[in-house]
């Protein structure tokens, strides 16, 4: 069965600090990988996704993630966070054949708090 | 604006009553929708896949008689929590994939509190 693990449950950073949120998945086949963000009081929004090709993907708002197949990882990064990045971040996977429209398996989520 | 509408956003009910949550795709048709449950400080757990015109597919451990899913049209799926109990209190989120755009959209969620 697929599973997703996010190592950081609560991260507190000052503005301009660099961010890296860990995500590891467990699945033997081809996977599609996603990072979603949930701002306070809002619905989940897609930050970025990886289906195939360049393992370094860039998303919205300056976020990027790197797929390392050998490590089953898809860590999220941002060089310089802003106060507005305060939110809940979720890593998710689905089976490779489902592209972006299949059921998702989510990680536990990471709460990011950015101090001004 | 929102492309998936979920209603209500918050509901408080008495133990033993049933609660219906609606999930609508706006501006696109969705033959499949997904229902998730989110516990405090926990991840979103997939409950079931709602299929238009056929029975929903439930994940292991999810009681289908407890969580009734009806996908009556190409833009509407409903989740009914039957005979709700305090342990059913949670945050329920639906999603609908726009296959043409290869994007999955999420509703804003429904906070259910059972007294």
Instruction: Answer for the pair A24, A107: CB distance below 8 angstroms, yes or no.
Output: no
DSSP string for B37-96: EE-TTS-EEEEEEEETTS--EEPTT--TTTEEEEEEETTEEEEEE-S--GGG-EEEEEEE
User: How close A44 gets to chain B, by Cα (Å)?
Assistant: 6
pLDDT tens by residue, B24-80: 999 899 999 999 999 877 788 999 999 998 999 999 999 999 999 999 899 999 999
* pLDDT at A50 (0 to 100): 92
Beta carbons of B102 and A101 less than 8 Å apart: yes
Is A71 in a helix, a strand, or coil? helix
User: How close A27 gets to chain B, by Cα (Å)?
Assistant: 17
Which chain A residue is nearest to residue B39, measuring alpha carbons? A108
pLDDT, mean over chain B: 92
Residue A78: C-alpha distances to residues A64, A66, A75, A99, B57 (Å): 6, 11, 10, 25, 37
Which chain B residue is nearest to residue A107, measuring alpha carbons? B43
* pLDDT at A11 (0 to 100): 96
Would you say residue A99 has pLDDT above 70?
no
Instruction: Give A96's pLDDT tier (boundaries 50, 70, 90).
Output: low
A113 touching B (Cβ < 8 Å): no
The pair of three-digit structure tokens given for residue B28, joined into one six-digit string: 């696109």
Instruction: Give A28's pLDDT tier (boundaries 50, 70, 90).
Output: confident
Query: Per residue, what are the HEC states of A72-92?
Result: CEEEEEECCCCHHHCEEEEEE
Give percent of chain A with pLDDT exceeding 70.
Answer: 95
For chain A, positions 8-27, list CB contacts with chain B under 8 A.
9
* pLDDT at B101 (0 to 100): 79
Q: Which region holds residue A99: left if phi is over 0, alpha if psi is between -120 and 50, else beta?
A: left
B74 touching A (Cβ < 8 Å): no
pLDDT, mean over chain A: 91
A99 touching B (Cβ < 8 Å): yes
Instruction: Give A98's pLDDT tier (boundaries 50, 70, 90).
Output: low
């Amino acid at each position: 069965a697929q599973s997703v693990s996010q190592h950081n449950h609560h991260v507190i950073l000052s503005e301009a600090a660099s961010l890296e949120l860990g995500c590891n998945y467990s699945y033997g086949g081809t996977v599609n990988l996603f990072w979603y963000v949930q701002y306070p009081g809002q619905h989940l929004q897609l930050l970025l996704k990886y289906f195939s090709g360049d393992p370094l993907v860039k998303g919205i708002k300056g976020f990027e993630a790197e797929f390392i197949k050998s490590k089953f990882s898809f860590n999220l990064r941002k060089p310089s966070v802003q106060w507005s990045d305060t939110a809940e971040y979720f890593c998710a996977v689905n089976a490779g054949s489902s592209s972006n429209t299949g059921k998702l398996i989510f990680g536990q989520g990471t709460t990011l708090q950015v101090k001004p | 604006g929102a492309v998936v509408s979920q209603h209500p956003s918050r509901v408080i009910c008495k133990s033993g009553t049933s609660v219906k949550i609606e999930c609508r795709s706006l501006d696109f048709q969705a033959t499949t929708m997904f229902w998730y449950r989110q516990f405090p400080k926990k991840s979103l757990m997939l409950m079931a896949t709602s299929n238009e015109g056929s029975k929903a597919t439930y994940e292991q451990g999810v009681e289908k008689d407890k969580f009734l899913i009806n996908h009556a049209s190409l833009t509407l799926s409903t989740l009914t929590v039957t005979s709700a109990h305090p342990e059913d209190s949670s945050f329920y989120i639906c999603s609908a994939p726009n296959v043409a755009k290869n994007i999955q959209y999420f509703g804003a969620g429904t906070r259910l509190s059972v007294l």
